[in-house]
Amino acid sequence: MTEIQLHNTLTRRKEAFRPLDPANVRLYQCGPTVYDRAHLGNARPVVVYDVLYRLLRQAYGAGHVTFVRNFTDVDDKINARAREMQAAGDARPLTAIVRALTDQTIGWYHDDMDALGALRPTHEPRATDYIGQMVAMIGELIAQGCAYAAEGHVLFEVSKYPGYGRLSGRSLDDMIAGARVEVAPYKRDPMDFVLWKPSDDETPGWDSPWGRGRPGWHIECSAMARAILGESFDIHAGGIDLQFPHHENEIAQSTCACGDGTFARTWLHNEMLQVEGRKMSKSLGNFFTVRDLLDQDIPGEVIRFVLLMTHYRKPMDWTNEKAQIARNHLKRWWSLVGPPESHNRNVAAPQEVIKHLANDLDTPGAMGVLFELEKAGRIDELVCGANLLGLLAHQADYDALFDLPWLSSDARDAIYEAVFKWSEERSRRNYEAADKIRSVLHSLGVQPLSNDPNGETWKFTNPDFATDEANDRIIREINEALSEWE
């Protein structure tokens, strides 16, 4: 078995991965706060650590890897969104709105991440199902003198954990200067962070020894990881934006609560994402969700391919050019390997691909191997290597890239000719002719997408036409429509 090497943020070096128990390799990834659609930056860690999950399953066996990714379904951002819904006319109690909102958002998340080819984790705990474990953990921290209650709050006393700052490599002075530290009269020190906070009668809350309230964000992941994976486990993963304060705080409270436990032994962090060379931001007009891209007919596999083109520890830039490059490569690969049902699944994953992934998840290197396999005509190995990266596996991506493969070449030529004619008439401002051609295309289940006759200009939306008779009808009706304008 190829030795897996991972860059451990905690030690700042690449290390050989040796699990605590090879029969139960344990991985925790911080999941989403569920109040809105996942944006593209949220998708990067999902795809990165999905590849890690696949690699671990390859190395240790699918039944010997436990992967946990949580849902944060109690949070002030969720409460704020629910209050906006109330103000807009939703008459339900706030707690009912919160539950409906989080249920809906979890459903969206599953749909979008499934579209990216991400495997579902072994466990997907909701924070609200582990409130009891959070309360118990907070009680332990108070009993050990590492936390204190004040004015309905419970706070972790950072000065009681000497190792604070080791993960992020910052001193306390640096943290105070560079962080948005909440100054509150009930804090002993500005860096102390909230473990429990009070809730009013309307806001979601639970009974506790410190009054009705709700947990702070950091204690949620510590309690869920401990409950499912134990006091010590192998890997904790997330975006670099979580390194401080979230992961730093997790280490402090979990280590103090569990005594000599090491909590997570290896910490992985992926870098941030940009769009066309700029930070993704609503104010810059370049903010979009995964669903936005899917609705623009960019297949999930294309999105995944682009995300894997850059090593996870380097900043990644999403560009339209990269998306088109990914589309072209995937279309060529799919044309070589055929639909998923025709693939040979009895071929071992190529060692060259595994070697790159085992080298700190070198996905660009692994994809380079796939191109070499393509050139060498090793098609079955290309499929298995791509599958290890979560590519070339889903019928939906095959169909999306080929605009439904049952169209005959003559039917395709007729459609492209009609789309070209439609584009030409629009450019001449002959809108009557263009509209009639478009109407015929719509009646055949064809939707033009752009005015560029050389690009991806249409999609086929009527699967009922998947017959030879339908191909003949497409050719006949398009020819009749075009003959009127010659």
Q: Is 221 annotated as a binding residue?
A: yes
With contact defined as beta carbons under 8 Å apart, do 310 and 318 qualify?
Answer: no
Contact status, residue 318 vs residue 306, Cβ threshold 8 Å = yes
CB 178 within 8 A of CB 168: no
**Cβ–Cβ < 8 Å for 78, 98:** yes
Q: Residue 447: which H helix or E strand, with range?
A: strand 446-448
d(CA 82, CA 47): 29
Residues 481 and 433: beta-carbon distance below 8 Å: no
What the block records as the tokens of 247 is: 């992961």
Q: Is 258 annotated as a binding residue?
A: no
Query: Is 421 annotated as contributing to ligand binding?
Result: no
Is 30 marked as binding a ligand?
Answer: yes
- Only one residue has tokens 């705080």, namely 249
Structure tokens at 230: 């134990």
Quickly count: other Cβ atoms within 10 Å of residue 379's Cβ. Answer: 17
CA–CA separation, 136 vs 219, rounded Å? 11
What are the helix and strand counts (H, E) for the chain?
17, 15
**What angle, rounded to 10 degrees, do the helices at 409-427 and 468-483 form?**
30
Q: Is the separation of the CB atoms in 241 and 272 below 8 Å?
A: yes
Tell me the binding residues. 30, 221, 246, 250, 282
Tell me the binding residues for Zn(2+). 30, 221, 246, 250
Tell me the binding residues for ATP. 282
